[in-house]
């Protein structure tokens, strides 16, 4: 038969329960009272609820652990069950008293005196006082026994034996490695940074340079029939290479007539001894005047002299470049350290020049200067590995060599030394790493509490020291303080590591 299950709350009363029952369409209505703090239902409430169920054409039943309420329900002919499955499995029948009354009504005519006798026979008779006292004392003793069983608690404080575990391992790191391998293969990520700088230095190169310009006189001859004007600054040069050029120092006019000549002073365009030329070395007038005028120096042109000058040499450029690139590399290393995300470690040995963006010497190499400046902008790159990846490799290697019965202590993993063996730019880096961690005696709390439960304190302390290696004596705190044994229930014992 279909059963409507209605779960009651602590705050429910007759009115709220009646409202819940009014929605039921089933023949049987099962009211489920909560185990803790059930609603307070009086005898009158049960009678009214029974009538409400009958008005709906059904039958009401209860699921409760309250013995008083069960007795009241049975007297009223209301079915009472310990659980919901039991209510669904068992047949709902009225109480013995109600069954007798129903049988009597079917077989006998209504007789008030007989009904009263039958009611007195089926009415619940109170138990004797001594029986109640016995049951009370049994309940009290059971309660005290349970209290003594559940009340004690203990805290066991241990410091397991510890020792240091070390390892030395070969690691190969590369941007081409994608997956961490227990054999020592470590992926790395490439980071790049741009830095720029300027450095000035003294030029140390020595070179002969011109000091004084050579000077002298030449004869200009008119090759035409007309007057020829030769302006100041007209360029003359030697006949043979290397050509040495001179300029006239004033304006001169050659009279009309072929063969007319005039003398004019000249000086070399460039200072230095190369301007000293012997007689008849000059013979060419540059430009359009070369077709109208001939030149000759009957006497030597002299007076040019040299001196030693400082120039930017190749060695100067290389020295300044090395100094500046070293400084820029230090700046790049610092910037990479700041730019790398937390959890990653830079490998300084992998710092290399990715590209030189700008490299300018002012003045240039080979030019005269007492001092010069180098301006550079360079992009560096470096490799960084994930600390968790390296930790996984080392921990896996150390776990493979972990002594039996020992466990790793958290947050004690340390790297002591790293020695680079080989670095191939753009390919890989190989290094040896030394690391260590602390390991300790493994103590299973469940095993420990199961072994010492219910033992006296002294026996428990002795047993713990015999079964486990400890760094110091164990401590046991039992509550209440006057209790001399450990609890019998393991969940009442807590194990702490110092």
Reported as a single tens digit per residue, the pLDDT across 349-370 is 999 999 999 999 999 998 888 8
Sorted by where each starts, the structural domains of the chain and their CATH numbers stand as 3-94 (3.30.750), 150-160+443-497 (no CATH), 166-203+312-436 (no CATH), 209-307 (2.40.30)
Amino acid 104: pLDDT: 46
Residue with tokens 């329960």: 17
On the question of pLDDT at 127 being above 60, the answer is: no
Mind spelling out the 3-state secondary structure of 65-86? Answer: CCHHHHHHHHHCCCEEECCHHH
pLDDT, tens only, 378-435 = 999 999 999 999 999 999 999 998 998 899 988 888 998 889 999 999 899 999 999 9
- For 298-316, the pLDDT digits (tens) are 999 999 998 888 889 999 9
Give dist(CA 278, CA 276) in Å, integer: 7
End-to-end CA distance of the chain: 63
For 163-206, write each residue's pLDDT tens digit: 999 999 999 999 999 999 989 999 999 999 999 999 999 998 88
In the predicted structure, residue 255 carries a pLDDT above the cut 50: yes
C-alpha to C-alpha distance for 391 and 410, rounded to whole angstroms: 12
**Local structure of residue 204 (DSSP, 8 states):** -
Q: Comparing C-alpha atoms, which of 362, 359, 380, 381 is closest to residue 370?
A: 362
pLDDT of residue 96: 45
pTM of the model: 0.54
- Looking at beta carbons, which pairs linking 86-89 to residues 24 or more positions away fall under 8 Å? 87/3, 87/30, 87/61, 87/63, 88/3
């Amino acid at each position: 038969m279909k059963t409507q299950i209605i779960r009651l709350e602590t705050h429910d009363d007759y009115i709220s329960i009646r409202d819940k029952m009014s929605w039921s369409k089933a023949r049987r209505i099962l009211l489920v009272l909560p185990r803790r703090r059930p609603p307070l239902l009086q005898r009158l409430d049960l009678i009214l609820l029974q009538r409400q169920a009958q008005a709906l054409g059904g039958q009401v039943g209860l699921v409760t652990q309250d013995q008083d309420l069960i007795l009241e329900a049975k007297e009223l002919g209301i079915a009472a069950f310990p659980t919901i499955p039991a209510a669904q499995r068992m047949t709902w029948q009225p109480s013995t008293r109600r069954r007798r009354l129903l049988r009597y009504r079917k077989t006998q005519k209504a007789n008030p005196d007989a009904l009263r006798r039958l009611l007195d026979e089926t009415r619940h008779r109170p138990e004797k006082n001594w029986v109640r006292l016995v049951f009370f004392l049994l309940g009290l003793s059971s309660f005290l026994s349970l209290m003594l069983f559940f009340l004690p608690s203990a805290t066991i404080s241990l410091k397991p034996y510890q020792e240091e575990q070390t390892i030395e391992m070969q690691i190969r790191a590369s941007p081409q490695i994608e997956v961490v391998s227990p054999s020592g293969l470590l992926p790395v990520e490439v980071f790049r940074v741009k830095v720029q700088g300027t450095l000035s230095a003294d030029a140390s190169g020595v070179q002969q340079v011109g000091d004084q310009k050579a000077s002298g006189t030449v004869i200009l001859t008119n090759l035409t029939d007309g007057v020829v004007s030769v302006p100041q600054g007209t360029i003359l040069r030697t006949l043979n290479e290397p050509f040495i050029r001179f300029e006239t120092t004033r304006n001169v006019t050659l009279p009309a007539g072929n063969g007319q000549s005039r003398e004019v002073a000249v000086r070399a365009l460039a200072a230095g001894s190369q301007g000293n030329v012997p007689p008849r070395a000059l013979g060419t007038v540059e430009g359009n005047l070369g077709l109208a005028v001939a030149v000759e120096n009957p006497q030597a042109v002299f007076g040019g002299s040299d001196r030693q000058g400082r120039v930017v040499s190749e060695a100067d450029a290389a020295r300044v470049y090395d100094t500046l690139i070293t400084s820029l590399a230090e700046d790049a290393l610092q910037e990479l350290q700041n730019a790398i995300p937390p959890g990653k470690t830079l490998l300084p040995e992998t710092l290399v020049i990715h590209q030189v963006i700008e490299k300018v010497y002012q003045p240039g190499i080979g030019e005269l200067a007492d001092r010069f400046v180098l301006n550079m902008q360079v992009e560096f790159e470096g490799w960084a590995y994930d600390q968790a990846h390296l930790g996984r490799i080392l921990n896996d290697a150390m776990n493979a060599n972990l002594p039996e019965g020992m466990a790793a202590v958290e947050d004690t993993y340390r790297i002591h030394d790293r020695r680079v063996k080989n670095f191939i730019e753009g390919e890989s880096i190989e290094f040896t790493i030394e690391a260590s961690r602390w390991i300790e005696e493994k103590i299973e709390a469940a095993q420990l509490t199961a072994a010492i439960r219910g033992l006296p304190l002294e026996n428990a302390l002795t047993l713990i020291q015999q079964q486990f290696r400890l760094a110091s004596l164990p401590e046991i705190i039992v509550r209440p303080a006057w209790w001399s044994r450990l609890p019998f229930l393991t969940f009442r014992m807590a194990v702490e590591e110092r």
